[in-house]
């Protein structure tokens, strides 16, 4: 068995967020790989629906890193961030000539992983 160095990482996950994963991915791509403070500033001033959700989740991940894993705030960066599709809520809306139209209210599962820079 070789000497494997375990790199600590802090994770925060939000499940069943009532927003399409496609919309979340736009904001997620902006902060991937950035320092935590830079990522927070980027998210704060991004005029997208997902930015508010991601900001809250990012703050949660930072708190997890500092309190549960004793990581230094200055060294933290967004190592991974991804949004997967959750279950879709299906609703029906009346349409013309007595027919019905399906409304798909999509949900997503968002995960943020933070690591320390050397």
The series of mean pLDDT values per 10 residues for the chain, 118 residues long, is: 79 96 95 94 95 96 94 94 96 97 97 92
| Domain limits for position 65 | 9-116
Angle at 45 between CA 44 and CA 51, to 5 degrees: 55
Position 38 in a domain: yes
CATH at residue 43: 3.90.470.10
Report pLDDT for 107: 97
Position 89 in a domain: yes
Task: Report the number of distinct structural domains present in the chain.
Answer: 1
Report pLDDT for 1: 60
Report pLDDT for 117: 87
Report pLDDT for 5: 77
Position 85 in a domain: yes
Position 45 in a domain: yes
Position 102 in a domain: yes
Contact 94/8 with Cβ under 8 angstroms?
no
Report pLDDT for 6: 79
């Amino acid at each position: 068995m070789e000497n494997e160095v375990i790199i600590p990482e802090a994770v925060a996950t939000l499940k069943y967020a009532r927003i399409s994963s496609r919309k979340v991915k736009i904001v997620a791509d902006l902060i991937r790989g950035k320092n935590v403070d830079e990522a927070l500033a980027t998210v704060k001033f991004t005029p997208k629906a997902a930015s508010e959700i991601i900001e809250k989740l990012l703050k949660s991940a930072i708190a997890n890193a500092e309190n549960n894993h004793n990581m230094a705030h200055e060294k933290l960066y967004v190592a991974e961030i991804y949004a997967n599709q959750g279950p879709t809520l299906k609703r029906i809306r009346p349409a013309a000539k007595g027919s019905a139209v399906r409304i798909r209210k999509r949900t997503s599962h968002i995960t943020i992983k933070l690591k320390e820079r050397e």
